[in-house]
Amino acid sequence: MFIEQVINGLTLGSIYALFALGYTMVYGILRMINFAHSEIFMVGAYIGFWVLSSLPVFLPGFLPAYFLAVFILAMLGAGLLAVVVERIAYKPLRHASRLAPLISAIGVSIFLQNLIMLTAGASSRPYPEKLPLEQFNFFGAQVSSLQIFIFGLAVLLMFILTLFISRTRLGKAMRATAENHIVAQLMGINVNTVISLTFIIGGGLGGIAGVLNGLYYGSVKYNMGFLPGIKAFTAAVLGGIGNLKGAMAGGFILGIVEAFAAGYISSENKDIFAFVILILVLLFKPAGLFGEEVPEKI
């Protein structure tokens, strides 16, 4: 039971960690919370649903290329949507008060939810099952090939992102822009390009998280991003919003807490713990576990 809950927690945590990276990257660059990110996640899940439903018509039989196409298209589609949202809803408000882009983000979230509801329907849709599932015994606990796949893919993507941010010129430009926009511009960095790149990467990771969520739970719905969005935001705050490694750690911590709450306390009330953690972190350590207290500049 204990090992099974750890495995379930790591699987959930992988999805939350990928999802949380979009929140923390945008906050690191623009100091704003992109609450439309939950709908980017939802759109990514739907792109995966449509691709998995359509590919067998053109390519009968199971092919590993299905999933390569699914994740590439979900990442590109969600990333491009995130850039469009940034250009239309956030860029004109960069120099406005912090409340303005927050309201704009909520408006975009409602718009995207209703757009998908009107085009794809309001009912839940079963996710196409194309991945052959196998069960493995791990110290007496059952672990599925899907859980291994989700965890492995998430860790790989987070490792690649960490290398990209720390070792490449574009990654260094992103870190410089996060530090100070004006100084970054004086050093020859195109801040607008960096911001667009941040939304592409964050949105792409959110889209992949949406596909993994659809595969894991077996369904998609127009409002499926709401609760995972709150949990991913909680993970970002828990780790220290703006801190990439903190978002990853926060996602895994939250996933394990939720799994143990479902297994040992109540599966019906497991979502409550995300809200409890969010409240406790904001009350007692608002900078998060890995964040730093930054004094306000006057």
Report the CATH number at residue 93: 1.10.3470
The answer to whether residue 259 scores a pLDDT higher than 60 is: yes
Number of structural domains, the chain?
A: 1
> Which of 229, 226, 176, 182 lies closest to 202, judged by CA?
229
The reply to whether 168 falls in a domain is yes
- The amino acid sitting at 126 is P
Reported as a single tens digit per residue, the pLDDT across 192-250 is 999 999 999 999 999 999 999 999 998 999 999 999 999 999 999 999 888 889 999 99
Sequence-distant (≥ 6) Cβ neighbours of residue 101 within 8 angstroms: 30, 32, 89, 90, 93, 94
Residue 3: how many CA atoms within 13 Å on its side-chain side? 8
The reply to whether 289 falls in a domain is no
The reply to whether 95 falls in a domain is yes
The reply to whether 291 falls in a domain is no
User: CB atoms < 10 A from the CB of 6, how many?
Assistant: 17
> Which of 15, 25, 7 lies closest to 200, judged by CA?
25
> Which of 232, 156, 201 lies closest to 26, judged by CA?
201
The reply to whether 296 falls in a domain is no
| pLDDT band at residue 296 using 50, 70 and 90 as cut-offs | very low
The reply to whether 105 falls in a domain is yes
Q: Which domain holds residue 261?
A: 2-122+144-284
Which tops the pLDDT comparison, 201 or 288? 201
The reply to whether 133 falls in a domain is no
- Residue 295 pLDDT: 46
Which tops the pLDDT comparison, 180 or 134? 180
